Chains A and B, each alone.
With several copies, the nearest count.
Chain A
Amino acid sequence: MANTSYLEAGHRALREEMQRDERVWALGEDLGRGGVFGQYRGLQDTFGDERIVDTPISEACIMGAAVGAAMTDTRPVVEMRFSDFALCAVDELVNQAAKARFMFGGQMRVPLVVREPIGIWRSSAAQHSQSLEAWYAHIPGLVVVAPSTPADNLGLLKSAIRCDDPVVYMEHKNLWGFEGEVPEDEHLVPLGKAEIARAGRDVTLVTWSAMRHASLETAEELAARGIEVEVIDLRTLWPWDRDTVLASVERTGRLLVAQEAVSVAGFGAEIAATVAETLHDRLEAPVRRLGAPRIPVAYAPPLEDRVRVSKDEIVEAVVGMTRTSPSRVPAGQ
């Protein structure tokens, strides 16, 4: 085990996979300089500028070229810089990459990974802060991954690169510097498997990406108050690990989802709806979601903070759910 940052873990994943398979290459803006957050530092020295490719500011072509190159027996890793800029390349991802294998009757596959850093990060404001994982979970053909720890960023990125499906890989910008233990040997994390980050008997708290950490910290605080929260980090949003979530709620009888994204039509709705559909009779309290209000992310901290799910809210929600008589007051919209 070594202590490594989330950023370094992603760096190592790409390096190892590029060493293992020469069909793997990466393309995006400023990669030769290390990428906007330094995730590609030094890789062009190692692999040359034909495998770590500096591209024009042409998101549509970056994604489209990756689709064509993936159909032509290479395995591109696309860097979109901010998931917000990937909105300049949605046709290429959603109409082309996601559908090609199916439309063409299974003649080929589109093994590409698109890295789309998400999340709120230091006054980045409305065009640099979005978390749109729910969009891609809604699109047949796409795999959606949102790692939260250095070990997962290593193991999931490696698995994503090995996957033959197009993978939307969403790192969280606020986690780049986050450190944790990472195995020194080959480390793969299977796509589609959640992690029970903390076991608990009272409430199942399903989360992913950066919210894992606030959730775990809150769970500790709640443990001190005698409430044992089971924290499940989904890691992959499509396919999401229904079995693990349902088994947990089957035990706890309570589901809370904590997501950074806008709650309305966010992926939490899928989880909450599925649990409510499947385990209605087992529920000892109504399912519940926490997420951002349906407002853009503002620049000034007092406003930006209004978007964040706070630990206090998690505490309040958990405590509310574990009271005997569940609240019946309808929330406003």
Chain B
Amino acid sequence: MTQNAARAEETSANLDSERLLPVLSLMWKIRLFEETAIEAQREGLVLGAIHPSIGQEAVAAGICPNLRQADLLLSTHRGHGHTLAKGADPLAMMMELFGRAEGTCGGKGGSMHIADFGVGMLGANGVVGANITIGVGAAHALKMRRSDDIAVCIFGDGAINRGPFLEGLNWARVYDLPVLFVCEDNGFSATTRTRTLTGGPGAVARAESLGLPAEEVDGNDVLGVDAAARTAIDAIRQGGGPRFLQCRTYRMTGHTAVDPATYRDAAEVEEWRAHCPIARLEGALRLAGVDEARMQQQRTEAEQYMQDVYARARDAEWPDPAQAFADVQDIGNPAERAY
């Protein structure tokens, strides 16, 4: 923590604002994408459950800009931010939430199954922890072909109590795989506080016990996440084997967009609101002398963009029902309507 704090200060002294304005822009993009989606869900346009990451944007925005497009990302049910940060098209994603033909997955997956292989995003996942072993396998393949691309696997604090956490991290260590594990620790496993369900000191200790260098950072401080991620990613890319990063953060919404989250009190939520990762980055940029108008511009542009995304997604075509029978399998794919 002290190490992080020091690094963060150092970073803030010589802030590279040209590199960070796009990060701010990305955070607004995530925030506004999800606010738009929540609003659209109220209107009945988003069809299934969505798990917003509002308040957690610094994790996605701190990690993914350090990745190449060819690096591979595996995410969770709460994956919009990661996916956007990896470079997926917001319009295609919104269309996916709306179940439309031109959605990222042709309307077949919805929020919990967004993937965009074109930008190295290998999928959200509806099963907690399942992305860990899949991510490990992707890293295994990268290593087999001597690529210096890496895999990143992001999961929640709840996932550290599932077996695949142990099996996957152990595997990554045994084969020295190029993979960064990120525990996006928002303190909750759905509606229950994770600490009441978790033995021992937590994710970092567990990762270390499995032989992985592990670090905890303030997950609402995008500069800190960025710095830690960069260090880790460089080391992994140079063949240093798997690493682990825990980012402590908080989700400002309920578990799903319709969860009123009555299991936590307003004071706690307000306290975290004061640590809003976007406001914090803006504060740092302000200190570094960045013009208020340029910052405002990031937000405004993102707002306009998402309005456009919303409108276009709303008007997009539904998938052809015949598509229900496509892409099941090559051998033994069922013929439409015949069963």
**B 124-161 to A, binary, CB cutoff 8 A, 1 in contact else 0:** 01111110111111111110110000010000001101
What is the CB-to-nearest-CB distance from B53 to chain A, in angstroms, rounded to a whole number?
Answer: 18
Q: Does B331 contact A (CB under 8 A)?
A: yes
- How distant is the Cα of A36 from the Cα of B259 in the complex, in angstroms? 10
In contact, A67 and B128 (Cβ under 8 angstroms): no
Quick one: which of A96-112 are within 8 Å of B by CB?
96, 100-109
Within 8 Å CB of B168, what residues of A? Answer: 61, 64-65
Question: Are B122 and A71 in contact (CB-based, < 8 A)?
Answer: yes
Which of A53, A85, A143 lies in contact with B329, CB distance below 8 A?
A143
Cβ of B294 under 8 Å from chain A: no
Q: Is the CB of B164 within 8 A of A61?
A: yes
Find A127's partner among B113, B163, B175, B190 (CB 8 Å cutoff).
Answer: B113
Mark out the residues of chain A between 76 and 103 whose CB falls within 8 Å of any chain B CB in the assembled complex: 76, 84-85, 88, 91-92, 95-96, 100-103
Which one of B100-108, B215-223, B301-309 contacts A?
A: B100-108
Which one, A56, A61, A92, A143, contacts B331 given CB within 8 A?
A143
Which residues of the partner chain A approach B138 to less than 8 Å between Cβ atoms?
68-69, 71-72
Q: Which of A8-16, A195-203, A300-308 contacts B (4 or more CB under 8 A)?
A: A300-308
Chain A, 49-60, contact with B by CB distance < 8 Å: what is the 0/1 string? 011011111111
Take A58-B161, A58-B162, A61-B133 as given contacts and tell me if A299 and B117 are in contact as well, using a CB distance cutoff of 8 Å. Answer: no
The verdict on A124 contacting B48 (CB below 8 Å), with A65-B140, A164-B330, A298-B324 known, is: yes
* Contact assessment for A293 and B334 in the assembled complex, using a CB-CB cutoff below 8 Å: yes
A107 near B107 with CB under 8 A, answer no
Known contacts A71-B122, A123-B48, A127-B113, A57 near B129 by CB under 8 Å: yes
Does the CB pair B171–A58 fall under 8 Å? yes
The chain B residue with its CB closest to the CB of A98 is B329
Q: Known A123-B99, A332-B338; judge A54-B192 contact (CB<8 A).
A: yes
A122 touches B109 (CB 8 A): no
Per-residue interface assignment for chain B, residues 84 to 114, with 1 indicating a CB less than 8 Å from any chain A CB and 0 otherwise = 0000000000001001100111111110110
Within 8 Å CB of A246, what residues of B?
Answer: none
Q: Please determine whether B127 and A84 come into contact, CB atoms closer than 8 angstroms.
A: yes
Docked Cα-Cα span, A60 to B144, in Å, equals 20
Residues of A within 8 A of B118 (CB): 107
Docked complex Cα distance between A32 and B190 (Å): 12
Are A33 and B191 within 8 A (Cβ)? yes
A254 to B324, CA, bound (A): 31
Neighbouring A residues of B127 by C-beta, 8 Å: 84-85, 88, 91, 95-96, 127
Give CA–CA (A295, B328) in the complex, Å: 6
Check A66/B105 contact, CB under 8 A, given A104-B113, A108-B117, A191-B331: no
Q: Point out which of A165, A239, A300 has the most chain B C-beta atoms below 10 A from its C-beta.
A: A300
Assembly CA distance A64 to B133 (angstroms):
5
Q: How far is the CB of B186 from chain A (nearest CB, A)?
A: 14
Contact partners of A67 in chain B: CB under 8 A? 133-134, 137
Contact of B159 among A57, A76, A291 (CB under 8 A): A57
CA distance A303 to B190 in the complex (A): 29
| Chain A-chain B contacts (Cβ-Cβ < 8 Å), number | 298
CB distance from A56 to the nearest CB of B (A): 4
Most chain A CB atoms below 10 A, which of B132, B192, B326: B192
A247 close to B (CB within 8 Å): no
Query: Are A293 and B339 also in contact (CB < 8 A) when A68-B136, A125-B48, A127-B113 are?
Result: yes
Instruction: Given A50-B144, A124-B48, A295-B325, check contact A56 B190 (CB 8 Å).
Output: no
A214 at the interface (CB under 8 A from B): no
* A70 at the binding interface (Cβ < 8 Å): yes
Does B141 lie within 8 Å of A73, measured CB to CB? yes
Known: A60-B167, A106-B106, A123-B47. A300 touches B318 (CB 8 A): yes
Minimum CB–CB distance for B98 against chain A, Å = 8
Which residues of chain B have C-beta atoms less than 8 A from A304's C-beta?
324
**B55 part of interface (Cβ distance < 8 Å):** no
Contact indicator B141/A127 (Cβ below 8 Å):
no
B335 on the A face (CB < 8 A): yes
Which residues in B have their C-beta under 8 angstroms from that of A73?
141, 145
User: Which of B128, B197, B324 gathers most chain A CB within 10 Å?
Assistant: B324
CA distance A141 to B334 in the complex (A): 10
- State which of A92, A100, A163 has its C-beta within 8 Å of the C-beta of B123: A100
> Are A302 and B164 touching (Cβ within 8 A)?
no
Q: Are B47 and A303 in contact (CB under 8 A)?
A: no
* Interchain CB contact under 8 A, B99 and A299: yes
Q: Nearest 10 CB-CB pairs, A to B?
A: A64-B133, A68-B137, A239-B332, A300-B99, A65-B137, A300-B107, A106-B327, A105-B105, A332-B338, A299-B110
What are 19 of the A-B contact pairs (CB < 8 Å)?
A57-B190, A67-B137, A68-B139, A68-B140, A69-B144, A74-B141, A84-B126, A104-B113, A105-B103, A125-B109, A127-B126, A141-B329, A163-B331, A294-B334, A299-B96, A300-B110, A301-B99, A306-B337, A332-B338
